[in-house]
Amino acid sequence: MKVLKGQDILALGFMTFALFVGAGNIIFPPIVGLQSGPHVWMAALGFLVTAVGLPVVTVVALAKVGGGMDELSSPIGKIAGGLLAAAAYLAVGPLFATPRTATVSFEVGVAPLTGESPLALFLYSLVYFLVVLAVSMYPGKLLDTVGRFLAPLKIIALAALGIAAFALPAGTIGDAQPAYVAAPFSQGFIQGYLTMDTLGALVFGIVIVNAIRSRGVESPRLITRYAVIAGLIAGVGLTLVYISLFRLGAGSHDIAATATNGAVVLHAYVQHTFGSLGSGFLAVLIALACLVTAVGLTCACAEYFSRLLPLSYRALVVLLAGFSLLVSNLGLTKLIMFSVPVLTAIYPPCIVLVGLSFCKGMWHSQTRIMAPVMAVSLIFGTIDALKGAGFNMPESLAHLPLSEQGLAWLVPCVATLFVAVVCDRLLGKPREVIA
């Protein structure tokens, strides 16, 4: 029976870590650290629950069913599960997340050096997606290209930044904003939830499983074990990165007190600490972070849609990279404006799907439980999305419990779950259809 060597397992873990850490993961924690002040570690704890815990659990859930989101969603039916999977893949693929990796890396790392002209963005995104295209063409070699080459470079750059954050603090810790004084844990929890990494994990699951299979491992038990180990390695790496970036942000009050986002905090710190080389260092770090994430998303989307459409994997890679190139040139502001409502709507049912997948042995019929709870989560997630997009909502829907935290779906889902479990107990085991 084929097994992975220790160095292959480590490379798999590095690859999984590198797939997750994009620009958004790097620019979120510094602003939380800055704004939470003395309460930084309580806010960090809340952030880690949703930005590390949920994605790792999602990787484990997918590994148990073979890596595909469609297998995970089978209890809600082929059509509904297929639509949810397609929406998730498109949202974190060519429509929003993949193009955004290019625009974020351009605006954070390159625009300060070249200016924000449309021509500069086009030239940067063209080179960027040519590299993504070249690496994505060979998914069987992803463990080598990403796990053994790009991921270590990315880890070295992040380690340098993390060590500097503790060894060379930029200044003192300032006062916390009122929201963090009142509830630092819940504020951090919300910020971690908004990173949307669980959606990314749903897409990356198939990439991780295929990377394991590319080494000749076919045993479902071993595939699950290696995926779990990879998820844990990635979780430890993400935790270390986030902790160092929280420390960086918390100690940057003297140089970035008025910053409104993490990119500004990072720029100020890197310039203060590394001098004239700061912008170049940050540009390389962000570009590496985004590039690896873009490769993972492109591979995952091409792999998924090649099973649904009469197109080859390589043809889809070309189409996805080309489409992402076009969308990325809309600019970051428009991309975020379009993406947030869509992601807000589809994220709740994905969380419910992952959470309930671990409890399938507790009831007679998975469909009776998953279908109604996921339907309710989608309805209330859509309400959150419409509210976030600026639509006027009826008073009864505008002030639902936890709606200010983007969690208006949580209470209705818990209530629906309770009712569904009671009905499942009353109805008993479904009758088997005898042909």
- pLDDT tens digits, 226-257: 988 998 999 999 999 999 999 999 988 888 88
Reference 8, options 211, 152, 205; nearest CA is: 211
The DSSP symbol for 275 reads: G
What number of CA atoms fall less than 13 Å from residue 57's CA on the CB side? 18
Q: How confident is the model at residue 101, as a pLDDT?
A: 85
DSSP line for 382-431:
HHHHHHHTT----HHHHT-TTGGGT-TTHHHHHHHHHHHHHHHHHH-SPP
Q: Using CA atoms, how far apart are residues 193 and 405, in angstroms rounded to an integer?
A: 10
What number of H helices and E strands is found in the chain?
Answer: 23, 0
CATH 1.20.1740.10 domain span(s) along the chain: 6-347
Q: Using CA atoms, how far apart are residues 344 and 385, in angstroms rounded to an integer?
A: 5
For the chain, 435 residues long, give each residue's pLDDT as a single digit of tens.
688 888 888 888 888 888 888 767 887 899 899 999 899 999 999 999 888 998 888 888 888 877 677 778 888 888 888 888 888 888 888 888 888 888 888 877 777 777 778 899 999 999 999 999 998 888 777 667 666 777 777 788 888 888 888 888 888 888 888 888 888 888 888 788 767 788 888 877 877 888 888 888 888 888 888 988 998 999 999 999 999 999 999 988 888 888 877 877 887 888 888 877 777 777 787 888 788 888 888 988 898 899 889 999 999 999 999 999 999 998 767 777 777 788 778 888 988 998 898 887 888 888 999 999 999 999 998 888 888 777 787 877 777 887 776 678 889 999 999 999 999 999 888 775 444
Distance of CA 273 to the CA centre of its chain: 29
Q: Using CA atoms, how far apart are residues 386 and 165, in angstroms rounded to an integer?
A: 39
Could you tell me if 46 and 262 are in contact, meaning their C-beta atoms sit under 8 angstroms apart? no
CATH number of 6-347: 1.20.1740.10
Structure tokens at 93: 């693929």
Q: How confident is the model at residue 193, as a pLDDT?
A: 73
pLDDT digits (tens, 9 = 90+) for 79-133: 888 888 888 888 888 888 888 888 888 877 777 777 778 899 999 999 999 999 9
DSSP line for 61-97:
HHHHTTS-HHHHTGGG-HHHHHHHHHHHHHIIIIITH
Could you tell me if 245 and 26 are in contact, meaning their C-beta atoms sit under 8 angstroms apart? yes
Distance of CA 294 to the CA centre of its chain: 12
CA gyration radius for the chain? Answer: 22
Q: How confident is the model at residue 435, as a pLDDT?
A: 43
Give the residue carrying structure tokens 């310039």.
271
Structure tokens at 419: 């009712």
Q: How far is CA 142 from CA 8, 136, 429, in A?
A: 12, 8, 44
Q: Using CA atoms, how far apart are residues 342 and 345, in angstroms rounded to an integer?
A: 5
pTM score, two decimals?
0.79
Q: Using CA atoms, how far apart are residues 210 and 395, in angstroms rounded to an integer?
A: 48
- Find the length of the chain: 435
Could you tell me if 381 and 346 are in contact, meaning their C-beta atoms sit under 8 angstroms apart? yes
Reference 85, options 294, 370, 373, 308; nearest CA is: 308
CB-neighbour burial class of residue 399 (10 A; exposed 0-12, middle 13-18, buried 19+): exposed
Instruction: Report the 3 state secondary structure along 7-45.
Output: HHHHHHHHHHHHHHCCHHHHHHHHHHHHHHHHHHHHHHH
